[in-house]
Chain A
Amino acid sequence: MKSQEENGLIRINNVSHTFNTSSGKIRVLDKLTMSVPKNGFSAIVGPSGCGKSTVTRLVAGLLQADEGSVWLQDQKVTSPRPVVGMAFQNPVLLEWRSILKNVMLPLEIVPNNLNMFEREARARNLLELVGLNGFEEKRPSELSGGMRQRASLCRALVHRPEVLILDEPFAALDAFTREDLWQTMHRLRSEEPFTGLLITHDLREAIFLADEIFVLSGRPATLQHTEVLAKRGQKNLDDLYTPEASQTLNTLREQIKIARQNEGRRI
């Protein structure tokens, strides 16, 4: 058996999925196959409404695929597993808890042998890593959008998940805050490695954060193109302005264009 390194810690195997809605059946995924190696970081881009979020829900075990299978750490995903951490566009912090208590939430659910003090230390440590020290006792409503998203990232990582799933977490932020958070992501990844899966509309974000980018076709989504980036792992913002990066950006734009043109032509 091949290792998760080569074979993929996340494997999506020939997955098709159809939603039953009031206006009939909508096929969102069609024989989708992709994988993310252990400690790799992959981004998924594609036209709006092509089923990108469905992929994250399948990987998280929140949804079962009609056909095909999803594998995490060589185990078939049939229900949610605590090896996953998630962050969404909406930070969904609990307004009645302090930032610290929000970050500690997963530790109350996921089985672990940390005591109260260790849990708190773990949460404080993460908050410091993302630059939120001094805000531990604040309520979410007292923080800016970017700070709330930072706290949401801490909550997604506090139980040391193998996989971090990010569903457009930076989409609602302004450009400067977003770039700050991109760098925070790299810092978090270097501190404690995880396997990342990012859904985004922002091609530059995908280039900056990911090692590999999957372009999905329009609905029903299949894998249309895989872009393996020349520069992987740690990056800085200057890396976005190299000729290679521009080249990649162009390729991705071109691919998205093709995906959108083909949308509607397929059944």
Chain B
Amino acid sequence: MRQIFSATLAILTFLSLWEVLVWVNDWPNYKMASPSDLWPAFWRFKGLFLIYGWETLWRTVVGLLLAILVGSAIGMLMGLSRFAREGLYPLLVGFNAIPKATVVPIVALIFVGQHDLNTVLIAFMISFFPIAVSVSIGLSTLEPEYRDILRSLGASKIAIFWKIALPKTMPEFFGALKVAVTLAFIGTNLMEIVSPHGRGLGALFDSGKTNSDYPLMFAVLISLAVLGIGLYYVVIMLEHFIAGWAEREID
């Protein structure tokens, strides 16, 4: 309850400061739209916001799920095998260092017209790295004693993985997933804006740009933020159920 109150207070304060800033400087809305301009812009295109918002959301979530699958698999490989870790790290870091904006036209060219696939692919590419790294660190830093208590009972490697390694890695995994959620949104919108196919919130942003409808552009940004917050809290909830044991009461 207190959490909701403090979050609402922070958001309201932010919005009023923004409004006051625009009002005091007397900026026209093509320079800086104010919060009060956003609602009309949003309301005018509310149907499109719903359709495009859904498109952006599902493609982000699919990209993220793909990132979880592939990222965890790479992370497991690197966490359990030193050889794989030393071999894959430079490749992964190099891949991650490439700005994804430059990959967008390439992907768009490879799968021309496959807009959903393209977008999902970029969302995936931008967000799997933190998951792979943290899963691999979680697995490779498992204290040998944890392994020994099961190994001394004659447990198989698979049993050790399921009973100890996997649950012990969950806090690191969720830490990375929180980063990956926001990254995946960036990936989706990158594709939607750089290589627009008339779908998703990115396309709405683009049409705002073409029509010099600045409040619309800002409204898109805000709705992206809202989607991002929503998905972030879904992850927080999952974390609470799956890795709640790692939470500590702080007074």
Residues of A within 8 A of B (CB): 57, 60-62, 79-82, 84-86, 88, 90, 92, 94-96, 105-106, 108-110, 139, 141, 155, 159, 165
Find B245's partner among A86, A96, A105 (CB 8 Å cutoff): A96
Q: Is the CB of A62 within 8 A of B163?
A: no
A159 to B153, CA, bound (A): 10
Which residues on A sit within 8 Å (CB–CB) of B149? Answer: 86, 88, 92, 105, 155
Closest chain A CB from B225 CB (angstroms): 33
Which residues on A sit within 8 Å (CB–CB) of B66? Answer: none
Interface centre among A57, A95, A96, A106 (most CB of B within 10 A): A96
The chain B residue sitting closest to A152, CB to CB, is B149
Closest chain A CB from B128 CB (angstroms): 25
A-B contact pairs, 26 of them (CB 8 A): A60-B148, A61-B152, A79-B154, A80-B152, A80-B153, A84-B153, A88-B145, A88-B148, A90-B143, A90-B145, A92-B143, A92-B146, A92-B149, A95-B168, A96-B168, A96-B170, A96-B243, A96-B246, A105-B149, A105-B163, A109-B150, A109-B154, A109-B163, A110-B153, A110-B154, A139-B245
The chain A residue sitting closest to B148, CB to CB, is A62
Residues of B within 8 A of A (CB): 143, 145-146, 148-155, 159, 163-164, 167-168, 170, 243, 245-246, 248
Interface centre among A82, A92, A95 (most CB of B within 10 A): A92
Q: Report the 10 A-B pairs with minimum CB-CB distance, sorted nearest first.
A: A96-B245, A60-B152, A109-B153, A109-B155, A92-B145, A80-B154, A86-B152, A96-B167, A80-B152, A82-B154
Which residues on B sit within 8 Å (CB–CB) of A82? Answer: 153-154
Closest chain B CB from A258 CB (angstroms): 32
Which residues on A sit within 8 Å (CB–CB) of B151? Answer: 62, 80
Known: A62-B148, A92-B146, A96-B243. A106 touches B167 (CB 8 A): no
The chain A residue sitting closest to B150, CB to CB, is A109
Known: A88-B145, A90-B143. A62 touches B152 (CB 8 A): yes
Which residues on B sit within 8 Å (CB–CB) of A110? Answer: 153-154
Find A95's partner among B145, B152, B155, B245 (CB 8 Å cutoff): B245
Q: Is the CB of A94 within 8 A of B150?
A: no
A92 to B170, CA, bound (A): 17
Q: Is the CB of B245 within 8 A of A81?
A: no
The chain B residue sitting closest to A140, CB to CB, is B245
Can you add 17 more A-B contacts, CB < 8 Å, to A80-B152, A94-B164?
Answer: A57-B148, A60-B148, A62-B151, A80-B151, A80-B154, A86-B149, A92-B146, A94-B146, A94-B168, A96-B168, A96-B170, A96-B243, A105-B163, A106-B153, A109-B154, A109-B159, A139-B245
Find A81's partner among B154, B167, B170 (CB 8 Å cutoff): B154
Interface centre among A88, A94, A109 (most CB of B within 10 A): A109
Which residues on B sit within 8 Å (CB–CB) of A60? Answer: 148, 152
A60 to B151, CA, bound (A): 9
Which residues on A sit within 8 Å (CB–CB) of B168? Answer: 94-96
The chain A residue sitting closest to B155, CB to CB, is A109
A88 to B164, CA, bound (A): 17
Which residues on A sit within 8 Å (CB–CB) of B145? Answer: 88, 90, 92
Q: Is the CB of A94 within 8 A of B167?
A: yes
Which residues on B sit within 8 Å (CB–CB) of A139? Answer: 245
A102 to B146, CA, bound (A): 12
Known: A80-B154, A95-B245, A139-B245. A86 touches B148 (CB 8 A): yes
Which residues on B sit within 8 Å (CB–CB) of A81? Answer: 154
Which residues on A sit within 8 Å (CB–CB) of B163? Answer: 94, 105, 108-109
A89 to B164, CA, bound (A): 19
Which residues on B sit within 8 Å (CB–CB) of A96? Answer: 167-168, 170, 243, 245-246
A92 to B145, CA, bound (A): 7
Which residues on A sit within 8 Å (CB–CB) of B143? Answer: 90, 92
A145 to B52, CA, bound (A): 55
A159 to B148, CA, bound (A): 16
Closest chain A CB from B4 CB (angstroms): 27
Closest chain B CB from A106 CB (angstroms): 5
